[in-house]
Amino acid sequence: MLDDIGAPSSAAIAKALDVTVRTVERWRYIDQAPRPVELALYWLTRWGQDAAACEAVNFRALQQTELAILRGEVARLRGELARVLAVADFGCANDAAATVSPARPLEQVAPARPVLQVVRV
């Protein structure tokens, strides 16, 4: 992997990973680094970059498909709503707004039934 990213020096790797140069040299001597270090270096290689690019392309295609499906659903629901609204608007028997005209605000509308007054004797 190090050859693929330009064979950086031990000092450069140590600085990038925030470890000592001696630690990096030990990893090079045994030809093995801890898994998190190997993963960090992998994403810098052409293979890691290709994997990231492939994931981005696949995610974009998935999002475009989902967008097309949702747009179709919106169009279907708009058509269904238009059909329902075109049938008729008969109102509702208990619709409070049916007694309110635009000229009279709601506060000025008389109640639907008389209000009982308490008379003290």
In terms of Cα–Cα distance, which of 23, 26, 27, 20 is closest to 1? 27
Which amino acid is present at 29?
Answer: Y
Decide if pLDDT at 112 tops 70.
no
The mean per-residue pLDDT over the stretch 8-16 comes to 91
In the prediction, which pLDDT does 12 show? 92
Predicted pLDDT at 95: 62
Is the CB of residue 44 less than 8 Å from the CB of residue 3? no
Per-residue pLDDT, 62: 96
How confident is the model over 48-96, as pLDDT tens digits? 999 999 999 999 999 999 999 999 999 999 998 888 877 766 666 666 6
Judge residue 24's burial from the number of C-beta atoms within 10 Å of its C-beta, 0-12 exposed, 13-18 middle, 19 or more buried: buried
Question: Residues 6 or more apart from 45 whose CB is under 8 A from it?
Answer: 1, 4, 5
d(C-alpha 42, C-alpha 2), whole Å: 9
Task: Check whether 15 has a pLDDT greater than 80.
Answer: yes
